[in-house]
């Protein structure tokens, strides 16, 4: 969920109850070093860093990023080097450590499984992210926002501390030309004498054809699927066929966008359904259709343990109680081009239109082949002139938002920019948010345990599997 909304605290709370808690690995390296710059409140980062198995990395990271008293609010966060096709060993190690820490803390104090969610679209950090999470014993890897056909092979290689590679999506390559992203554990301090397990792999799918492709043509074992409908939060798969839009400018989905669960079951692999499934009634319906369980995001996203700031959670939930909350499927907000869910609520004073375009995190940049043969990087949310100068089309920049910075702001890590601006938040949630008042029953806060008690209430079958 987003950037560190499904954080280690939330995942730990869910897994401690015997369900599958899932941490978000998206931009977790930036989240990690910002937590250190904020003083590592509670000492949790440092406690987990002590268990990182590669000597010297923790000390180097603390020396560069740890601020014992926390940085002043008027001071910008120190940035990590932006990812490219090839990065230094230290840059990769920071990504590995960040994922290790998040998974290790999520697993602390219990013996139940923990999962990691990554976006296929954000390719460049993913191999290092997986290696770090595997060092911490991650049990499941869940990936959507693309076709993660090469991830099973990456997991297989990393489980043996062998070099792992996958195709790198680069625009403008000649026919037959291929670029790769590679991580060799030997170059980043991996110790082949330390056994690590290969986690189960669950790609997120929105079509039967994609499930068949992954089950039959992935370069390694696929262990099941998460079936995510277009009402889920964050990025949605675009509708199939010629795009059409409603009066709000939202893409219109139809019968072609519905996964046939009966046909999916014929593949013989377990699956979990997601997207407006957060109720005991929907859990029972999923089980009745052959699912192993459900994936729930929205209800957990506004629980006490989630990464959203307390102020944002309060504002959204009190707005929901008054019937003043809305979720828009914005066809333009994300620089990826995928539809993206945007929360609108009463009293939201964040005016992104006044934000100066800055691309200083760069997770959603696309790689392209330059005229000189080298690789360049561009993002449709960066300054328009820069994007056009790099060969992008101006039309592709219209309506785009900087999700990297906005999602960091959601969790209280807004960058203080040089012009004095604090990056504004941009909340995302599933469509179920518009009905959350029924669940709240007058409350303006609740815990992850409350959500689990609700989902597992008597109408549901015994001991189902849920994930957050």
205-229 average pLDDT score? 91
Token digits of residue 216? 């039959």
Chain segment 323-341, per-residue pLDDT in tens: 999 999 999 999 988 999 9
Looking at residue 31, the DSSP 8-state letter turns out to be H
- Interval 282-299: pLDDT, tens: 999 999 999 999 999 999
Q: Of 224, 25, 33, nearest to 134 (Cα)?
A: 25
Q: What is the pLDDT of residue 466?
A: 54
Over range 247-260, report the average pLDDT. Answer: 90
State how far the Cα of 26 lies from the Cα of 261, in Å rounded to an integer.
29
Structure confidence at residue 463 as a pLDDT band (50, 70, 90):
very low
pTM of the model: 0.94
Inter-residue long-range contacts of 248-251, CB under 8 Å, 24+ positions, other chains counted: 248/328, 249/330, 249/331, 250/328, 250/329, 250/330, 250/331, 250/339, 251/329, 251/331, 251/339
Distance CA 430, CA 449 (A): 20
pLDDT score at 460 = 41
The mean pLDDT of 64-93, rounded to a whole number, is: 96
Q: Quick one: pLDDT at residue 461?
A: 43
> In 287-321, which positions are buried (b, 16+ CB within 10 angstroms) versus exposed (e)?
beeebbbbbbbbbbbbbebbbbbeebbebbbbbbb
pLDDT reported for residue 405: 93
Q: What is the 3-state secondary structure (H, E, C) of 404-464?
A: HHHHHHHCCCCCECCCCCECCCCCCCCHHHHHHHHHHCCCCCCCHHHHHHHHCCCCCCCCC
Cα separation, 433 vs 290, in Å, equals: 26
Q: Which two tokens stand for residue 197?
A: 């397990």
Q: Minimal CA–CA distance to 402: which of 384, 388, 375, 429?
A: 384
pLDDT at 29 over 50: yes
Around Cβ 354, how many Cβ atoms within 10 Å?
Answer: 8
Computed over every residue of the chain, the mean pLDDT equals 93
pLDDT for residue 353 is more than 80: no
Structurally, at CATH architecture level, domain 8-308+442-467 sits in Alpha-Beta Barrel (3.20)
For residue 326 the two structure tokens come to 């809305």
- Please state the rounded mean pLDDT for residues 170-190: 95
Q: Is the pLDDT reported for residue 359 higher than 60?
A: yes
pLDDT digits (tens, 9 = 90+) for 73-82: 899 999 999 9
In the chain, the largest separation of any two C-alpha atoms, in whole Å, equals 65
Taking CA atoms, 200 is separated from 50, 151, 155, 225, 319, in Å, by: 26, 11, 9, 11, 39
- Name 433's Cβ contacts closer than 8 Å, sequence gap at least 6: 233, 298, 302, 316, 320, 325, 327, 343
């Amino acid at each position: 969920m987003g950037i560190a909304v499904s954080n280690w605290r939330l995942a730990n709370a869910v897994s401690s109850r015997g369900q599958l808690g899932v941490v978000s690995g998206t931009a977790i390296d930036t989240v990690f070093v910002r937590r250190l710059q904020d003083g590592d409140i509670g000492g949790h980062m440092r406690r987990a860093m002590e268990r990182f198995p590669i000597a010297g990395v923790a000390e180097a990271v603390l020396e560069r990023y740890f601020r014992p008293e926390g940085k002043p609010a008027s001071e910008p966060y120190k940035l990590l080097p932006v990812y490219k096709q090839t990065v230094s060993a230290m840059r990769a190690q920071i990504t590995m450590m960040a994922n290790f820490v998040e998974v290790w803390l999520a697993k602390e104090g219990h013996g139940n499984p923990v999962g990691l969610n990554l976006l296929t679209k954000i390719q460049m950090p993913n191999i290092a992210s997986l290696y770090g999470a595997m060092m911490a014993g991650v049990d499941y890897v869940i990936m959507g926002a693309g076709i993660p056909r090469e991830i099973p092979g990456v997991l297989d290689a990393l489980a043996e501390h062998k070099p792992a590679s996958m195709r790198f999506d680069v625009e403008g390559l000649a026919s037959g030309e291929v670029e790769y992203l590679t991580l060799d554990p030997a170059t980043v301090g991996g110790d082949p004498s330390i056994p690590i397990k290969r986690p189960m792999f669950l790609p997120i799918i929105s079509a039967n054809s994609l499930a068949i492709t992954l089950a039959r043509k992935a370069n390694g074992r696929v262990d099941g699927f998460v079936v995510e409908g277009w009402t889920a939060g964050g990025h949605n798969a675009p509708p199939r066929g010629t795009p059409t839009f409603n009066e709000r400018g939202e893409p219109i989905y139809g019968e072609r966008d519905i996964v046939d669960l009966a046909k999916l079951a014929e593949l013989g692999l377990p699956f979990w359904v997601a997207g407006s499934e957060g109720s005991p009634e929907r859990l029972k319906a999923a089980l009745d259709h052959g699912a192993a369980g459900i994936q729930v995001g929205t209800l957990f996203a506004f629980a006490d343990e989630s990464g959203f700031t307390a102020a944002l959670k309060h504002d959204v939930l009190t707005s929901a109680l008054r019937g003043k909350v809305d979720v828009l499927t914005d066809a333009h907000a994300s620089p990826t081009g995928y539809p993206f869910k945007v929360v609108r609520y009463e009293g939201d004073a964040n005016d992104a239109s006044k934000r100066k375009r800055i691309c200083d995190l760069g997770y959603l940049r696309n790689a392209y082949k330059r005229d000189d043969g080298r690789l360049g990087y561009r993002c449709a949310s960066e300054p328009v002139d820069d994007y056009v100068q790099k060969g992008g089309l101006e039309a592709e920049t219209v309506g785009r938002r900087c999700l990297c910075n906005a999602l960091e702001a959601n969790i209280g890590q807004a960058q203080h920019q040089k012009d004095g601006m604090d990056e504004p938040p941009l909340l995302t949630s599933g469509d179920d948010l518009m009905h959350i008042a029924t669940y709240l029953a007058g409350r303006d806060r609740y815990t992850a345990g409350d959500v689990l008690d609700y989902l597992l209430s008597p109408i549901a079958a015994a001991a189902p599997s849920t994930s957050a």
